[in-house]
């Protein structure tokens, strides 16, 4: 028989329903700010409704931001990782010729801090607004025993409309050109290695100036993953792009190969751009070989477009006004489905 002094409650078990209810009310305005004309459900329903006005192929993807959340937690900067998440997912379906329709998020933590959760999901909402998609649902879960207090995880689910026909790998052939679109940092991959090098090996703190920079370590590492939707839209509208590779986990070798036929090799000239300072510092502090670095990080290239030679000028010029300057970085030759990094 239980001692009355040992009486149990959900709160005593580590789940605060009042905090969850408070968070829900605080998020109502944020979520509704992403509403589009096709989003049909009200905030707080059991499921999100979205109306398709015409038959279309849908493209879906799910992803997370990895251990970038640990940098956010350590620095107390929580309003960027949600935007990272949306942009990552947008780029993934963009590589399939789709533009976003709606998004759902999953936020899990050890102990719910409504201020932190509001900041994180506020970033998700900002990413949705910037990319023109509706945040139609989500889940915030408090799971003591699974996550430590002060830590959280974040995942997202996106559905888009197939809006552009990409010829894809079957149209990639000898002479096709590679066009690199610069990243602005690590984006959302390689953080386990980056943290090991910068924090454990080099002894840096999140508040320290990043070597050779006037920004803090946290500011450099938490730069928001770029969305390439607006930069690529004009070239996609004109049919100038053959295939798209979003450079995430696995780097250029592990992602560009996904758009190659088995009898083609991508020759990437890595001397055609200069890696960002953060990658140079990680290289210096880790002593890793270049191939390992290029397989762990994007090394300054967040997305690679495959285009025919006569379409290259259109792709390069169509990003004017988007704040991104692409560059030619290689070509396709006959081969074996692999990616060759030239110049390392």
Summarize the confidence of residues 247-274 as an average pLDDT. 98
CB-CB contact of 33 with 125 (8 Å): yes
- Each residue's pLDDT tens digit, 88-147: 999 999 999 999 999 999 999 999 999 999 999 999 999 999 999 999 999 999 999 999
**pLDDT in the model for residue 33:** 79
Residue 269, beta-bridge partner list = 342
Structure confidence at residue 5 as a pLDDT band (50, 70, 90): low
**Structure token pair of residue 178:** 């590679």
pLDDT greater than 90 at residue 267:
yes
* This prediction's pTM: 0.91
Instruction: Give the span between the Cα atoms of 238 and 268, in whole angstroms.
Output: 25
User: Does position 212 have pLDDT exceeding 90, yes or no?
Assistant: no
Burial label for 270, CB within 10 Å (0-12, 13-18, 19+), is buried
Task: Give the model's pLDDT for residue 112.
Answer: 92
Residue given tokens 């879906």 in the structure block: 60
The model's confidence at residue 14, banded by pLDDT at 50, 70 and 90, is confident
Percent share of the chain, pLDDT over 90:
81
Q: Are strands 98-109 and 134-142 parallel, antiparallel or unpaired?
A: parallel
* pLDDT tens by residue, 276-306: 999 999 999 999 999 999 999 999 999 999 9
Contact indicator for 165, 237 with CB cutoff of 8 Å: no
Integer Cα distance of 43 and 48 in angstroms: 8
Residue in this structure with the two tokens 């999140």, named with its chain if needed: 206
Task: Go through the domains of the chain in sequence order and give each one's CATH number.
Answer: 11-162 (3.30.1330.10), 169-342 (3.90.650.10)
pLDDT tens figures, 143-194: 999 999 899 999 999 999 999 999 999 999 999 999 999 999 999 999 999 9
Using an 8 Å Cβ cutoff, are 68 and 195 in contact? no
How do beta strands 264-269 and 134-142 pair? unpaired
What integer pLDDT is reported at residue 9 of this predicted model? Answer: 67
CA dihedral angle for residue 63, residue 67, residue 71, residue 77, rounded to 10 degrees:
20
In the structure encoding, which two tokens stand for residue 21, read together?
Answer: 């209810």
SS (H, E, C) the chain: CCCHHHCCCCCCCCCCHHHHHHHHHHHHHHHHCCCCCCECCCCCCCCCCECCCCCCCEEEEEEECCCHHHHHHHHCCCCCHHHHHHHHHHHHHHCCCEEEEEEEEEEEECCCCHHHHHHHHHHHHHHHHHHCCEEEEEEEEECECCECCCCEEEEEEEEEEECCCCCCHHHCCCCCEEEEEECCCCCCCCHHHHHHHHHHHCCCCCCCECCCCCCEHHHHHCCCCCCCHHHHHHHHHCCCCCEEEECCCCHHHHHHHHHCCCCEEEEEEHHHCCCCHHHHHHHHHHCCCHHHHHHHCCCCEEEEEEECHHHHHHHHHCCCCCCCCCEEEEEEEECCCCEEEECC
Residue 22 has pLDDT above 70, yes or no: no
Q: How far apart are CA 271 and CA 281, in angstroms?
A: 18
**Rounded-to-integer distance, Cα 23 and Cα 3, Å:** 34
Provide the token pair at 202: 């080099």
Q: Can you give the pLDDT at residue 19?
A: 67
When comparing pLDDT for 14 and 226, which is higher? 226
Neighbouring CB atoms inside 10 A of 151's CB total: 16
C-alpha span between 40 and 26 (Å, rounded): 21
d(CA 42, CA 51): 13
d(CA 256, CA 168): 12
Q: What is the mean pLDDT of residues 42-65?
A: 85
Closest by Cα among 76, 93, 84 to 126: 84
Both structure tokens of 143: 């799971």
User: Residue 182's pLDDT is what?
Assistant: 98
Q: Give the per-residue pLDDT at 6.
A: 56
Q: What is the pLDDT of residue 196?
A: 97
């Amino acid at each position: 028989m239980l001692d009355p002094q040992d009486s149990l409650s959900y709160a005593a078990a580590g789940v605060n329903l009042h905090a969850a209810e408070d968070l829900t009310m605080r998020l109502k305005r944020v979520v509704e700010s992403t509403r589009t004309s096709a989003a049909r459900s009200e905030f707080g329903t059991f499921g999100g409704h979205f109306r398709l006005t015409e038959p279309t192929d849908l493209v879906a993807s799910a992803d997370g931001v990895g251990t970038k959340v640990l940098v956010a937690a350590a620095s107390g900067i929580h309003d960027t990782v949600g935007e990272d998440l949306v942009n990552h997912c947008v780029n993934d379906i963009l590589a399939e010729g789709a533009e976003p329709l709606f998004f759902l998020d999953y936020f899990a933590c050890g102990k719910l801090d409504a201020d932190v959760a509001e900041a994180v999901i506020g970033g998700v909402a900002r990413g949705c607004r910037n990319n023109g998609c509706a945040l139609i649902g989500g889940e915030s879960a408090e799971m003591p025993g699974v996550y430590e207090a002060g830590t959280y995880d974040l995942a997202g689910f996106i559905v888009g409309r197939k809006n552009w026909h990409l010829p894809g790998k079957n149209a990639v052939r000898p002479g096709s050109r590679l066009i690199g679109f610069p990243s602005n940092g690590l984006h959302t991959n390689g953080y386990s290695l980056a943290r090991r090098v910068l924090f454990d090996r080099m002894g840096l703190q999140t508040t320290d100036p990043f070597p050779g920079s006037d920004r803090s370590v946290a500011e450099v590492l938490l730069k928001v993953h770029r969305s390439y939707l607006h930069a690529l839209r004009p070239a996609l509208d004109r049919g100038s792009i053959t295939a798209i590779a979003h450079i995430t986990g696995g780097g250029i070798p592990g992602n560009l190969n996904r758009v190659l036929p088995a009898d083609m090799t991508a020759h990437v000239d890595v001397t055609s751009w200069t890696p960002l300072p953060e990658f140079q510092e990680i290289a210096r502090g880790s002593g890793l070989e270049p191939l390992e670095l290029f397989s762990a990080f994007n090394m300054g290239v967040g997305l690679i477009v495959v285009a025919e030679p006569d379409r290259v000028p259109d792709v390069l010029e169509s990003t004017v006004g988007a704040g991104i300057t692409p560059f030619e970085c290689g070509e396709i030759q006959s081969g074996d489905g692999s990616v060759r990094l030239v110049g390392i």
